[in-house]
Amino acid sequence: MKNLIYLLLLVVSLPSFAARQFDIEVILFKRNIAPEQVNESWPDQQAAIDTSSAIDFGDTARLKARGIRPMSPSRFRLNNQYNKLKGHAGFTPLAHFGWRQGDLSKAAAPRIHITAGKDFSAQFLADGIPAASAASEALPASNTSTDGLIITTDNSAATDLNAGIDSQSTGGPLYELDGTIKVYVQHYLFTEANLELREPSRREVVVGADIDSTLDPLATEGNVQVGHLQEVKKQVDVEEFLKGYQFNQQRKMRSGETHYLDHPLMGMIIQIRKING
């Protein structure tokens, strides 16, 4: 009888457990510091973050089909943190957004594609090379516009989270911040963030070589030929390119907690709240 009671209690509790809902609120920001001033070393080229299977935050139809509903700014609770970042000379907020989702497992929860900040596609190609060096004139600025969801941002205008646009594709937007965020439940709440901050940088490139032709490569000394090495001088130029700095973190959380995910050049504030009732 006692076991039967426990079983009945479990069956009764299952619907409420399955119906759990969470509000996820996120702030993404960058530090106003030149990467060269940070005691870190980043490669000039990194493998691009794969966003092919992620759902763009502006694609509300696909999000809804996966049990995710974008959050209205009226439900934000991190406005105070956002305003402090906005008023601080050392930081620039790039995005403030949120969504509601159910009790999704790691396999069921989708990766959400986020883009924010400036669009560098007029100055650079997707691989970071200056557009002017690949054509006789710079590419025109992207005027792509969709009906994507508008999020709060601090770039003098709202950021359009374009639905269905891959920033890595040729001729598409090349946003300052690009990447994916995923939240799922596995006993605890987990957040996975894979983001890339793009900043114009400078590097030296070899554009040619000068050979000193005044040296005789086969000068003779008596009856012996002596080979002289020719002096080669590299021609080095300095070019501007778009460099990516990646932010890849996973964090275990409890509902109601506010977490700060740190990086030398950027940061992420996230709060996950369980919806009561």
The domain tally of the chain equals: 1
Dist CA 70 CA 63 (whole Å): 8
Q: Is residue 123 part of a domain?
A: yes
Q: Is residue 148 part of a domain?
A: yes
Return the pLDDT at 141: 47
Q: Is residue 218 part of a domain?
A: no
Dist CA 31 CA 264 (whole Å): 8
Return the pLDDT at 63: 97
Q: Which domain, by its residues, includes 194? A: 21-202+241-274
Which of 9, 15, 14, 22 shows the shortest CA–CA distance to 255?
22
DSSP states of the chain: -HHHHHHHHHHHHHHHHHT-EEEEEEEEEEESS-GGGSS----S--PPP--TTSEETT-HHHHHHTTEEEPPGGG-S-HHHHHHHHH-TTEEEEEEEEEEEES--TTTSPPEEEEEEEE-TTTB-TTS-BHHHHSSSPPPPP-----PEEEB-SSSS-EEE-TT--TTSTTS--EEEEEEEEEEEESEEEEEEEEEEEEEEEEEEEEEEEE-TTS-TEEEETTEEEEPPPPEEEEEEEEEEEEEEEEEEEEEE-TT-EEEEE-SSEEEEEEEEEPP-
Q: Is residue 3 part of a domain?
A: no
Per-residue pLDDT of the chain in tens (277 residues, 90 and over written 9):
555 554 445 444 444 445 799 999 999 999 999 888 888 888 888 888 999 999 999 999 999 999 999 999 999 999 999 999 999 999 999 999 999 999 999 999 999 999 999 999 999 998 888 887 765 444 444 444 334 444 555 554 444 444 333 444 456 899 999 999 999 999 999 999 999 999 998 765 555 666 665 555 555 555 555 555 566 666 656 678 899 999 999 999 999 999 999 999 999 999 999 998 6
Return the pLDDT at 208: 62
Return the pLDDT at 45: 82
Q: Is residue 215 part of a domain?
A: no
Q: Is residue 166 part of a domain?
A: yes
Return the pLDDT at 219: 57
Q: Is residue 181 part of a domain?
A: yes
Q: Is residue 139 part of a domain?
A: yes
